[in-house]
Structure 1
Amino acid sequence: MPVQAFMDGVDDRQRDDLESTLTGWWKELFRAVKIGPDEDFFMLGGGPVLAETIRAKVRGKYRVDIPAEDFYDARTIAKMADYIQIRQASAESWCIVPIRTGGNRRPLFLIHGIGGNVLGFFSLVKHLPADQPVYGVQAQSLQPGAKIHVSLEDMAAHYVREIRRLQPHGPYAFLGLSFGGLVAYEMARQLLAAGETVGLLGMLDTWQPSYMKRLPNPGSLPVRVYQRLRLVWLGMRRLNLPHKMIYLRNRLRNRALRVFYRYLAARGGGKISESMKSVRDINWIAGIQYPVLPYAGQVTLFRATGENDWRLPQDLGWGAVAAGGVDLHPLPGDHGQVLAEPNVSLLAEQLDACLQRISSDVRMI
């Protein structure tokens, strides 16, 4: 089931009808008698052709497009229903998604990862106290026809403007997922420069990119080329010939798009046709080109400990730029498991403790 507070203002019957319609489509495609709300589309045998059939049905009935790159995130009935309602709820403001609007605490803003949407945060919000308002910040580049910010600084400035319409003054509380941690970092820097306060600059397994660039390279050029080609081979070895061609075409297209986005970033952004838009690649270019400057406050880092790299310090390089130091919270599992059970329960517990500390500090002032 979806996060209850996200359903503020959404009719329960409307949600039931949505899930019922999606379930009917899935049963028809998979010729199944019963499909539960949490069954995985791909585990049921779904592939690109069936995914496109579902996407077309969603576009036709709900006027919501689920890009192919987002379909994996929306691969269950419940998550697909969440995705549709997020896109419908954010029709006026594409960036700010009201996940939970009730409660008397200061709101928590969850900043999207490289994929651009905020679906992955729903499991986290379920574990936070009911009186904690939560808003998702999804990628502005998801909005059809809008000017695209390829510079991370411009992206952050846009999100800050949208957030301040909802919360004009601080202290602000942010948690950014991976790439979103970089965006939250720049948002915090801009707010401090504007004379505002940031109570929580939270990062969920975010590596400091300028530190990463200084690390010793793990292999020579031939070794790195071999590893890259091996990844391509692993990605396509089980595909049939038509799907191999599609896979290679998509890889080449993404490479070409990244070159185009670099050019666009140098020009200060602009409008991109929907056929030329790849949210992941836009964010990837924004991340690698972001010049990390010092931050006067503290970084709160929730770090996955399952993927230890001998080249990285425990603080993932943030201690070198955060004047207020790094408040480190280790989490079990690897990067892809931080928002999955049972790790997400521990994350919610640690995050809530940080948010309560901010509230106490505000009352003392």
Structure 2
Amino acid sequence: EQDFGRSLPLATLFQAPTIEQLAVILQQEQGVPTLSPLVPIQTQGNQPPIFCVHPAGGTVFCYLELSQLLGANQPFYGLQSLGQQEGQAPLTTVEEMANVYLAAIREVQPQGPYLLMGWSFGGMVALQMAHDLLSQGEQVAFLGLLDTYAPAHMPDEQVLSEDVEVLLELFGGPLSLDWEVLRDLPSEQQSALIWEQAHQANLVPPDLGAAQIERLLQLMKLNHKAMRSYSPPDYPDVITLLHAEAGSVAVSSTEVTTDPTLGWQAISPSKVEVHTIPGYHEYMVYQPTVVIVAETIKADIEKGLNTDVETSSK
């Protein structure tokens, strides 16, 4: 941002990680940054692309390693929150996000079978997108929820603040944090500890401005509000749920649900396939947990695509 004298969309960093590549893209855009929620993370391969929705923090940087582990033949697109750029209005409901994101993914893939997934809050949006596609006569070969709770089963007792949660989404996975120490600190000290370790690990871009950080925090709060107010529709097809066995560091252990489907069986009776993944919610897309997550997703996508072919041939 210092070099170009303007605020850059986070998605642009995926397309052009060097100064030279950024200059070319900005010249092509004639100074107008993209407003699309679609972020091309891995565009090569002949498999149907995976479209993976952002968690509550709004960004999709967290999916980089997952996309790599899924292989060079698997295209992978992230869907980021609108509202990260100055002057860009955020979306405020799950249904609104699903509608806008579907329009974006159809620019890449006009017809199914579709592969949709999302971590945490992103799973809710992916489910709404899958529901809308099915209602329009499209095929959804895979719907993956990465430790996503149904709204009615979300725990109420939070031991970490929303500001701390967004920092964990941005930086928490790669950091060596002592969760017990973090949980016992006041929220201001929690944030300070994460920022300190993120800077020491060179995870924070040196020119990440205060205004952009504030936009991310406000986005997360809006996404949390959308999450709490969402009423998911009945879903007639298979839901694949990857559940973090250790729960979440942000939630008191007394608040953990005993329902292995995390509440989703209520909208998809007998059609929730549950995979229990060792580790915490916060590490679902980071090492070492992400290796197991990627292997599980690959197997379920292959099964879903094969089932889709068999159904189409009948």
**Cα offset, 1:100, TM superposition:** 1.1
Bigger Rg, which one: 1
Q: Deviations over 1:85-117 (max 9, x none)?
A: 49x679435311111111111000111001111
Indicate the SS of the match to 2:100.
helix
Flag structure 2 segments of 5+ consecutive residues without an equivalent. Answer: 158-181, 193-213, 248-252
1:196 and 1:185 map into 2 onto residues whose CA distance is 14
Q: In structure 1, how many angstroms separate the alpha carbons of the residues matched to 2:191 and 2:217?
A: 25
Correspondence 1:225-264 to 2 at 5 A: 234-236=186-188
| 1:128 corresponds to 2:70 | yes
CA distance in 1, matches of 2:239, 2:138: 16
Q: Give yes or no for contact 1:296–1:324 (8 Å, CA) kept in 2.
A: no
Read off the aligned partner of 2:244 and give its amino acid letter.
A
Q: Which one of 337, 340, 344 corresponds to residue 283 of structure 2? A: 337
**Residue in structure 2 matching 1:297, options 213, 237, 245:** 237
Scaled by the length of structure 1, the TM-score of the pair is 0.61
Deviations 1:206-264 (A, max 9, x none): 01012348xxx77xxxxxxxxxxx97962235899xxxxxxxxxxxxxxxxxxxxxxxx
The 3-state SS of whatever aligns with 1:149 is coil
Decide whether aligned partners of structure 1 residues 353 and 92 sit closer, same or farther in structure 2, where only a CA change above 3 A counts. same
Say if 1:130 and 1:276 are closer, same or farther in 2 by CA, change over 3 A.
closer
For 1:306 and 1:195, locate their aligned partners in 2 and report how far apart those are by CA, in whole Å. 38
2: distance between equivalents of 1:292 and 1:285? 15
Match of 1:311 among 253, 257, 269: 257
Equivalent position to 2:125, from 183, 192, 214: 183
| Deviation (angstroms), 1:323 | 4.1
Task: Name which of 292, 295, 299 aligns with 1:353.
Answer: 299
**Structure 1 residue 325, shift from structure 2 partner:** 1.3
Cα shift at 1:276: 11
| CA distance 1:190–1:64, change in 2 (3 Å) | farther
The residue aligned with 2:161 is none
Kindly indicate which of the two structures has a greater share of residues assigned to helix.
1
Aligned-partner Cα distance in 2 for 1:170–1:145: 34
CA distance in 1, matches of 2:41, 2:215: 30
CA shift, 1:83, in A, is: 9.3
Asked if the contact 1:109/1:136 (under 8 Å) is kept, the reply is yes
Quickly say closer, same or farther: Cα 1:63–1:203, change in 2 above 3 A.
Answer: farther
What are the residue-to-residue correspondences of 1:1-365 with 2, within 5 Å?
A: 59-63=1-5, 65=7, 82=14, 85=17, 91-212=33-154, 234-236=186-188, 278-307=218-247, 310-323=256-269, 325-364=271-310, 365=312
List per-residue Cα deviations over 1:248-288 (Å, max 9, x = no partner): xxxxxxxxxxxxxxxxxxxxxxxxxx979811111111111
1:93/1:363 Cα in 2 relative to 1: closer, same or farther (>3 Å)?
farther
Q: Any idea what SS the aligned residue of 1:60 has?
A: coil
CA offset at residue 143 of structure 1? 3.7
Larger relative CO (CA 8 A, sep 6+): 1 or 2? Answer: 2
**Letter in structure 1 aligned against 2:186:** L
Does the residue aligned with 2:222 lie in a helix, a strand or coil?
Answer: helix
RMSD over aligned Cα atoms: 3.5
One-letter amino acid matched to 2:187: G
Query: TM-score, normalising length from structure 2?
Result: 0.70
**Which ranges in structure 1 are unaligned for 5 or more consecutive residues?**
1-58, 71-79, 219-229, 241-273
Question: Counterpart of 2:34 in 1: which secondary structure?
Answer: coil
Compare 310-319 and 100-109 and name the one that shifted more: 310-319
CA shift digits 1:172-216 (9 cap, x unpaired): 111101000011111111111211121111110101012348xxx
CA distance in 2, matches of 1:104, 1:186: 26
